[in-house]
A and B are shown apart, each in its own frame.
Chain A
Amino acid sequence: MTENMQTPLESFIDYKADTGSQCGNYSIDIPKLQEGEQYRFHFDATACVGCRCCEVACNEQNNNPSDIKWRRVGEMEGGVFPAFTQLLNSMSCNHCVDPECLKGCPTESYIKIAETGIVIHEDDTCIGCQYCTWNCPYGVPVYHEERKIVTKCHMCHERLDVGQSPACVQSCPSGAIEIEAVNIKEWLERDIDTQANMPFLPDARITNSTTRYTLPENMPDKMKEMDEHILKPAHSEMPLVFMTVLTQISLGGFLALFLGDVMSLFGFESTNWIMALLVMMPAAIGLPLSALHLGRPFLALTAMKNIKTSWLSREALALGVFTSLMSVVVALYFLELPHALILALEAITLAVGIYGIYAQSMIYRIRARPSWNRRTTNMKFFGVAYVGAFMMGLAGLILGVTDAVLPLISLGMVGAMAQLFFSYEDARTLDTTAQNEYQLKRSSRLLNENFKNIKLFRFVSLLAGGIFLPLLVIVFIHSTSIAFMALLFSFILIVASELSDRFLFYSTVVPLGMAGGFFVGKQR
């Protein structure tokens, strides 16, 4: 200690407190990074006492309100009293080698800094789509309501750059959090499987997380997370419920239109511009709706930026093009241009639409969200197309194109049965003993406990609207008013059914992630 300390004006940045660790110090002692190295966190679970200093220090450092936590502490326990093990996990961002947040981000707002390996988020370009909050298997990125963007831990890189300690490292009284340099090759080839995993965290290999964990020896095999009792539905994403279902209906409708147009080659009654307009409508309404779920709708168009790695960008672009092409198709019909031209454009449009819905379904095939990451997601997304057939059937009935009605309804019924099967499979396979059993079982609980009435409605309405009422339509096909009423009612029912199923899809997802706190849960 220097003589005559001039407080409070003296700088503490270079002062080294005698803590025997990085903690307590406002500056940090780490060797300069060598080629092939990056910075990472080390968390020593045997040192952590669960005081939550790191959480508070992080928020104080970044001026974050209490509900925006970049660093969180989770609690787990195992064993039998008194041979009892409490395990704590203080986690912020794992600054992965292959960050899913970065890959999925449609606006390329994530940067893995080449020199340090720190994964930072660029606030200016973020549109607040929150796709990264789905993609990260650790639930690291957090949407900041006030700022309309996602924010996350950046390892206090602005401090590190000038030799200062990250706030969490500085504040930990037991020296449990440290910054280290890691050789990426050695880490991936040798150490990651033994040093990067922690109970309740997803496999570090998903994103090649870099955080090194020191765990207690003789940890009980069975640990429980202390927030086990907190099972809350995920965000229902209403704009997306409508957007996805509507675009999928459009695709189905367009398929029916295309088939009808093909059939007209064989002498059947030809399709017309009203029908083309009708199939375009759902997508035209649905697509802009999706912008509503963004924090910053005015930047919605930039969502197409990252075609290279983001399914979200691909979806945005493909469905954008699909809808535009559909409007061109309407114009071609209206202008009564040559049939071959229309047919060719329809084929192209259909292909783009199919790709668009495929891209849309792939958005959800992410490892961080087990109940989404199943084949039934793709199937159900395409499955909604049958509603388009019914829509066209209804249009046929209204427009008096009666000979198209029966084939359309039959097509729709086949589709509805397929969708029923997909939905049944989807619910059935939640109860599994396979990978991610814990999360899938919890999804199943949400579905069968929290939302059991909506689930019941989903299946009853699908059966009634997709199968029984259409049968009625077929029987009464010559009594136009009964057939019309039945078909209209059927259509309303299946649209409601698909919307409710999509609501369940979003609400019942249980993401991978860390163990949480008894009261606060995962703080996400």
Chain B
Amino acid sequence: MINKLKDFLGFDIKAEKYKLSSDPVFGMISDANKPDKWVFSTCGYCGVGCGLYIGVKDGKAVYTKGNPKHFVNMGTLCPKGLSEHQMINSPERITTPHVRKNGKLTPTSWDEAFSKTADEFKRIAKEHGEKAVGVISTGQLLTEEFYTLGKFVQLGLGTNNYDGNTTLCMASAVMGYKQSLGSDGPVGSYEDFEKADTIFLIGANIADNHPILTLHINKNKKPNKKVIVIDPRASKTSQMADIFVPIKPRTDLALFNGLAYIVIEQGWENEGYMLANTNGYKELKKHLQNYPPQEVANITGIDVKTLYELARQFVAQDSVLSAWTMGVNQSFMGTDTVSAIINLHLLTGQIGREGAGPFSITGQCNAMGTRETGFTSSLPGYRNFGDTQALQEYANIVNVPEEIIPTARGYKYAEIIDAIDRGEIKALWIVATNPLVSFVNQEKLRKTLAKLDLLVVQDAFLGDTAQIADVIFSAATWGEKEGTYTNSERRCNRANKAVEPIGEAKSDFDIVVEFSKYFDGVNEMLFPSWKNPKDAFDEWKKVSKDQLCDYSGMSYELMEELGGVQWPCNEENPKGSKRLYTPEIPFRTKDKKAKLLCLDWFPMAEPACAEFPVILNTGRTVEQWHTRTKTRSIDILNDLAPEAWVDINPEDAKKLKVKSGDRMSLSSPRGRVNDVVVRVTQSVAPGNVFVPFHFNTQLVNALTNESFCPKSGEPNYKQTAIQLHSSEVPDGLEFIKDEISGAIAHVKTAYEGVRVQEKERTV
């Protein structure tokens, strides 16, 4: 009572709680959160891979501070990184394993969770074959965990129906690199942003998604520096551009073919480089005759003059860097678009030099780790499935029988879902991903997952997918476990454990190793005397030796000392390598030459039409991470973007009689999303809208289409024909046909596009 009165009268202004005091490492900081120790680590959100320190006080993470000595971020962090310690203590954390009993998820012991899952996996394997168990993992684990998990799934469980959410994100880059250059592996370095004369940002909204990369672009003080942003949406990133190219949705492949046409037409190729390092010029030259500038202008909506100006960059400037992310990858022709970009760089010799190269910016903190070690799109160390010699090599290194190593890639993500739908896959083990927000065509997915005999979710957070699981393995998260993350520029960074895992949670490494003990002989064969992640790392170093992703020269200590090490790191390059395909690092094809590929552009299978006249583009916002499991409880982030919104051009808003702040519904042939708040903005063209995909409250993936890149399996998230419904105009917008001279050709190829797509998918 007296305290209440005192409080009312304002005696206590909580000065203690809000005072600052001096920390020997970072200077004056909040006294209440002044750590007892700072732990060197790396951010666990995106693929930029920022170095940081985790402040720990009384066994709790209380601060995250950028490491000024780390080359990637030089002391800065994005808003998610700055508040990352709050993520560990999120109320959404799953603190114990759970098993569904009488329809209800019930906390249980690890032993029960493991035995139940192991028994079911064994039963299903016995009744339906080992491949009836599917696994979908992530880009969020540590490299050691990916290697351990992949090894266990493929060699222990014996199923190759194993893929990751990386297929929703980087798979097209992987397959594009593979088909053009002979191997996966991002070519460039962040340093190239500082050294390039021209930087193309293609379908990459780095301002929202990789803000720390702007640091490197800003460091580039060259007077002739040009930043060219190619995006159908005038995103925040478009504001950084010297030239903003508002390309029509999903016409990028045509654009790059068109630029290649101009390069050849004008004789702007780097003949010396091309002859010495590539194959397929003649075929490409012939193929490109289908992409003359006027035709490309019609397709892309970019005038001929601008096309010439863009192509000219490749000769007018010494070094050209093309960086891309989801706008390119998340497309029906994602793989080929990546290759079309690479074509341009090969033609002009803009590769393997400082400031030059095609460069994919990775989405997740360790999508790279799973690509290299994870057994999904290749055997560890980028060894191709089906390469007998590579298979034998791997078997010898790790001392396992050759027969248990898969010879072919299993189902990709979407194919796993289809196989569940068909009843072929009976059990699904999902690791650190949340398909019930992130995958396409949600309504169908939910029905499909219900067909499973067993759904196991291994996650640190109780996301939408975990809520329907039969078994939950409660995982530790960033800061609670150790290992390495590899970022977009092949930099392997050390992540240390700062605090103990919450509750009963275990690191993903421990989960897999302990779970393997429930299968006869598996632990002994695969993980002999493995105790901690370093055991996996040591094996991985041996496995990767002499491969493109060579880790053999790395050690945890070296990573801390140098602020990450870029592979290949071996005896020749003891401190790592800044870029690939320099004169010392040949292409990974048999003849060591890169391939110039003939690639075709197809219009959308589901273009805007009378019923669905608007093209929906989906993407992210800087405050949220993926399906928000990590960020929705961090108030300072969530308050800034607490729900999905729809960006709509004022022209369309006028027709729909809506204004900013009103609510609207969106529908596609697959579903409807209600109650989306309207944001009227000139950042989108009329007939186009943008909605972030993070939100389970306005599940925009209920609308997106099951159209996948036939080569990478990556969904075509970025373009969906939809209709908008406001309360005043419930029937929505009218379809306005394009009035361009190439309209006839457009319709023709549209027909072919659909046909080719169907053909590809039935293979």
Please tell me if the beta carbons of B33 and A63 are within 8 angstroms of each other in the complex: yes
CB neighbors of B among A442-479 (8 A): none
Q: Does A426 contact B (CB under 8 A)?
A: no
Q: Specify which of B30, B39, B68, B660 is in contact with A62 (CB 8 Å cutoff).
A: B30
Q: Does A228 contact B (CB under 8 A)?
A: yes
Complexed CA–CA distance, A335 and B17 (Å): 55
* Contacts A51-B622, A84-B683, A296-B9; A9 near B25 (Cβ below 8 A): yes
Would you give the shortest CB distance from B479 to chain A, in whole angstroms? 14
CB neighbors of B among A8-42 (8 A): 8-13, 15-21, 23-27
Q: Does A66 contact B (CB under 8 A)?
A: yes
Would you give the shortest CB distance from B647 to chain A, in whole angstroms? 10
* Contacts A12-B26, A60-B30, A171-B76; A298 near B53 (Cβ below 8 A): no
Q: Does A230 contact B (CB under 8 A)?
A: yes
Please tell me if the beta carbons of A63 and B18 are within 8 angstroms of each other in the complex: yes
Would you give the shortest CB distance from B604 to chain A, in whole angstroms? 20
Inside 8 A of A16's CB, which chain B residues have their CB?
Answer: 68
Would you give the shortest CB distance from A97 to chain B, in whole angstroms? 26
Complexed CA–CA distance, A257 and B378 (Å): 97
Complexed CA–CA distance, A81 and B623 (Å): 25
Please tell me if the beta carbons of B68 and A17 are within 8 angstroms of each other in the complex: yes
Please tell me if the beta carbons of A171 and B66 are within 8 angstroms of each other in the complex: yes
Please tell me if the beta carbons of B10 and A19 are within 8 angstroms of each other in the complex: no
Please tell me if the beta carbons of B645 and A518 are within 8 angstroms of each other in the complex: yes
* Contacts A56-B637, A296-B10; A79 near B682 (Cβ below 8 A): yes
Closest residue of chain A to B37 (Cβ to Cβ) is A8
Inside 8 A of B27's CB, which chain A residues have their CB?
Answer: 13, 26-27, 159, 162, 164
Complexed CA–CA distance, A295 and B7 (Å): 9
Inside 8 A of A65's CB, which chain B residues have their CB?
Answer: 635
Q: Specify which of A25, A51, A175 is in contact with B78 (CB 8 Å cutoff).
A: A51
How many interface contacts (CB-CB < 8 Å) are there between A and B? 243
CB neighbors of A among B3-50 (8 A): 7-15, 17-18, 20, 22, 24-33, 37-40
- B656-687 to A contact mask, C-beta < 8 Å, 1/0: 00011100000000000000000101111110
* Contacts A5-B69, A297-B10; A25 near B29 (Cβ below 8 A): no
Please tell me if the beta carbons of A17 and B69 are within 8 angstroms of each other in the complex: yes
- B689-721 to A contact mask, C-beta < 8 Å, 1/0: 000000000000000000000000000000000
* Contacts A50-B622, A296-B9, A519-B642; A81 near B29 (Cβ below 8 A): no
Closest residue of chain A to B27 (Cβ to Cβ) is A164
- Name which of B31, B207, B238, B684 has the most chain A CB atoms within 10 A of its CB: B207
Please tell me if the beta carbons of A297 and B682 are within 8 angstroms of each other in the complex: no
Inside 8 A of A79's CB, which chain B residues have their CB?
Answer: 682
Interface-located stretch among B213-221, B397-405, B449-457: B213-221
Please tell me if the beta carbons of A19 and B211 are within 8 angstroms of each other in the complex: no
* Contacts A12-B25, A20-B221; A77 near B30 (Cβ below 8 A): no
Inside 8 A of B234's CB, which chain A residues have their CB?
Answer: 81-82, 84, 86
Q: Does B477 contact A (CB under 8 A)?
A: no
* Contacts A7-B40, A53-B76; A520 near B639 (Cβ below 8 A): yes
* Contacts A25-B68, A81-B649; A174 near B10 (Cβ below 8 A): no
Inside 8 A of B67's CB, which chain A residues have their CB?
Answer: 12
Complexed CA–CA distance, A50 and B640 (Å): 12
Q: Specify which of B239, B560, B642, B682 is in contact with A49 (CB 8 Å cutoff).
A: B239
CB neighbors of A among B196-234 (8 A): 206-208, 211-212, 214-215, 218-219, 221, 234
Q: Does B63 contact A (CB under 8 A)?
A: yes
Please tell me if the beta carbons of A24 and B18 are within 8 angstroms of each other in the complex: no
* Contacts A53-B78, A63-B33, A85-B239; A80 near B682 (Cβ below 8 A): yes
Q: Does B423 contact A (CB under 8 A)?
A: no
Complexed CA–CA distance, A4 and B562 (Å): 9
Would you give the shortest CB distance from B623 to chain A, in whole angstroms? 7
Closest residue of chain B to A23 (Cβ to Cβ) is B76
Inside 8 A of B642's CB, which chain A residues have their CB?
Answer: 519
Interface-located stretch among A141-149, A370-378, A503-511: A141-149
Inside 8 A of B31's CB, which chain A residues have their CB?
Answer: 63
Complexed CA–CA distance, A434 and B12 (Å): 45
* Contacts A23-B75, A24-B74, A127-B10; A62 near B18 (Cβ below 8 A): yes
Inside 8 A of B64's CB, which chain A residues have their CB?
Answer: 60
Complexed CA–CA distance, A13 and B659 (Å): 49
Inside 8 A of A82's CB, which chain B residues have their CB?
Answer: 234, 238, 244, 246, 685
Please tell me if the beta carbons of A172 and B682 are within 8 angstroms of each other in the complex: no
Complexed CA–CA distance, A60 and B40 (Å): 19
Q: Does B240 contact A (CB under 8 A)?
A: yes
Complexed CA–CA distance, A9 and B36 (Å): 11
Q: Does B237 contact A (CB under 8 A)?
A: yes
Q: Does B83 contact A (CB under 8 A)?
A: yes
Q: Does B79 contact A (CB under 8 A)?
A: yes
Complexed CA–CA distance, A507 and B30 (Å): 36
Would you give the shortest CB distance from B294 to chain A, in whole angstroms? 21
Please tell me if the beta carbons of A12 and B37 are within 8 angstroms of each other in the complex: no
Complexed CA–CA distance, A124 and B19 (Å): 12
Please tell me if the beta carbons of A297 and B645 are within 8 angstroms of each other in the complex: no
Closest residue of chain B to A86 (Cβ to Cβ) is B239
Complexed CA–CA distance, A226 and B680 (Å): 9
Query: How many B residues touch A, CB cutoff 8 Å?
Result: 87
Complexed CA–CA distance, A232 and B661 (Å): 13
Inside 8 A of A517's CB, which chain B residues have their CB?
Answer: 640
Inside 8 A of B25's CB, which chain A residues have their CB?
Answer: 8-13
Q: Does A130 contact B (CB under 8 A)?
A: no
Inside 8 A of A294's CB, which chain B residues have their CB?
Answer: 10
Closest residue of chain B to A292 (Cβ to Cβ) is B8
Inside 8 A of A123's CB, which chain B residues have their CB?
Answer: 13, 15
Q: Does B654 contact A (CB under 8 A)?
A: no
Inside 8 A of A80's CB, which chain B residues have their CB?
Answer: 682
Inside 8 A of B24's CB, which chain A residues have their CB?
Answer: 9, 11
Q: Does B73 contact A (CB under 8 A)?
A: yes
Inside 8 A of A23's CB, which chain B residues have their CB?
Answer: 74-76, 215
Please tell me if the beta carbons of A149 and B13 are within 8 angstroms of each other in the complex: yes
Inside 8 A of A21's CB, which chain B residues have their CB?
Answer: 218
Q: Does A286 contact B (CB under 8 A)?
A: no
Q: Does A301 contact B (CB under 8 A)?
A: no
Inside 8 A of B29's CB, which chain A residues have their CB?
Answer: 61
- A337-362 to B contact mask, C-beta < 8 Å, 1/0: 00000000000000000000000000
Please tell me if the beta carbons of A5 and B683 are within 8 angstroms of each other in the complex: no
Complexed CA–CA distance, A26 and B238 (Å): 30
Complexed CA–CA distance, A26 and B29 (Å): 11
Q: Does B445 contact A (CB under 8 A)?
A: no
- B75-94 to A contact mask, C-beta < 8 Å, 1/0: 11111001100000000000
Q: Does A441 contact B (CB under 8 A)?
A: no
Please tell me if the beta carbons of A298 and B28 are within 8 angstroms of each other in the complex: no
* Contacts A82-B246, A159-B28; A147 near B682 (Cβ below 8 A): no
CB neighbors of A among B440-465 (8 A): none
Complexed CA–CA distance, A21 and B215 (Å): 10
Would you give the shortest CB distance from B441 to chain A, in whole angstroms? 28
Closest residue of chain B to A65 (Cβ to Cβ) is B635
Closest residue of chain A to B207 (Cβ to Cβ) is A49
Please tell me if the beta carbons of B641 and A519 are within 8 angstroms of each other in the complex: yes
Complexed CA–CA distance, A305 and B207 (Å): 49
Please tell me if the beta carbons of B207 and A51 are within 8 angstroms of each other in the complex: yes
Q: Does A59 contact B (CB under 8 A)?
A: yes
Would you give the shortest CB distance from B387 to chain A, in whole angstroms? 40
Please tell me if the beta carbons of B14 and A146 are within 8 angstroms of each other in the complex: yes
Q: Specify which of B9, B75, B563 is in contact with A25 (CB 8 Å cutoff).
A: B75
Q: Does B236 contact A (CB under 8 A)?
A: yes
Q: Does A158 contact B (CB under 8 A)?
A: yes
A-B pairs with the 8 shortest C-beta distances?
Answer: A296-B10, A229-B661, A24-B75, A49-B207, A51-B211, A66-B635, A82-B246, A63-B30
13 contacts between A and B (CB under 8 A): A8-B40, A13-B27, A24-B75, A53-B79, A80-B682, A159-B27, A162-B27, A170-B66, A171-B66, A171-B77, A230-B661, A296-B9, A297-B9
Known: A56-B79, A63-B17. 6 other contacts (CB 8 A): A13-B26, A56-B637, A77-B681, A171-B66, A173-B78, A173-B211
